[in-house]
Amino acid sequence: MKVLITGANGLLGQKLIALLQTKEGVSLYATSRGKARILDFKGEYFPLDATNKQEVLSLFKRLKPDVVIHTAAMTHVDECELHPEDCYVANVEAVRNVVAGCEMIDAHMVHLSTDFIFDGTEGPLSEKAVPNPINYYGKTKLEAEEIIKASNISSSIARTVLVYGVVPGLKRSNIILWVKDNLAKKNSFKIVDDQWRTPTLAEDLALGCWLLAKDKVKGIYNISGGDMLTPYEMAQLVATYFNLDNQYITRANSATFNQLAKRPPKTGFIIDKAIKKLGYRPHSFKEGIEIIAGQL
């Protein structure tokens, strides 16, 4: 099976590569903007701007992958609010291009979506929940889903929540590292206790994508962690694991933060469908902390 990954330089892209290059019978093509930043990669890398339709069509025609896992996106929620045109091109137009490429070569597409397509009035959510995004990022991700569902391609949509993990060379932090670093430096900080999520270890998300890709499973699947937690609860678990003083953590209401984009108060996913139909088994958040600690 030939598998092409977009956004291969990112967190999920690199975790996918680490996983898939251990699978027998998989020929792996990594693509991303610019030069490769992937360590210990044994496959082939091709620079690709997914927002450029001709680049996408040309490369897909040349490589003819059986499956395309589309991870490339603009995911910084406030940046999407601030730069809606860039966000639309990255999250919607790029998906149109990838869909067109998959149609041309009859490839299966695994697309990454988000809990931010929901308004946060209830949770945890099943795959049957009705989307109603409250920020621009969520709106673009929902439009991308609709483009895929309206197409004729074979596809999986993997919805996920608050992905965390570490890879060498990536500057973007995550909640575990952020909390650990601040507590180690004895910096006081506020963290919200009125938003609920099911945080997702990047390795688990990569596994979920592979389970969808290997059998070309069709439909929408929630691929996240199983623990429903607030960021405040996550911070307390981090403090406990690393034996750091939690007196520097202050519980806060989300209204006290001046964020450009609205965040849904409660999302989180019910992952029963992925467990039963895919055999997906995510790590607990405590186990995720331990895994990241071992990677530092």
Q: State pLDDT tens for residues 192-220.
A: 999 999 999 999 999 999 999 999 999 99
Question: Residues 265, 195: contact at Cβ < 8 Å?
Answer: yes
Please give the tally of structural domains in the chain. 1
Q: Which helix (H) or strand (E) holds 192?
A: strand 189-192
pLDDT (tens digit per residue) in 86-103: 999 999 999 999 999 999
In a domain, 258, yes or no: no
In a domain, 97, yes or no: yes
In a domain, 34, yes or no: yes
Q: What is the pLDDT of residue 104?
A: 98
In a domain, 242, yes or no: no
Q: Which CATH number covers residue 12?
A: 3.40.50.720
Question: Residues 49, 7: contact at Cβ < 8 Å?
Answer: no
How many alpha carbons lie under 13 Å from residue 63 in its C-beta half-sphere?
28
In a domain, 248, yes or no: no
Q: Could you tell me the pLDDT band of residue 168, with boundaries at 50, 70 and 90?
A: confident
In a domain, 295, yes or no: no
Nearest-angstrom CA–CA distance, 246 and 189:
10
What angle do helix axes 11-20 and 202-214 make, rounded to 10 degrees? 60
Question: Residues 175, 234: contact at Cβ < 8 Å?
Answer: yes
Cβ atoms within 10 Å of 185's Cβ, excluding its own: 8
Partners of 113 in the β-ladder: 159
Question: Residues 268, 124: contact at Cβ < 8 Å?
Answer: yes
In a domain, 62, yes or no: yes
Question: With 80 as the cut, is the pLDDT of residue 170 above it?
Answer: no
What is the residue range of 28's domain?
Answer: 2-166+199-227+268-285
Residue count (the chain):
296
In a domain, 72, yes or no: yes
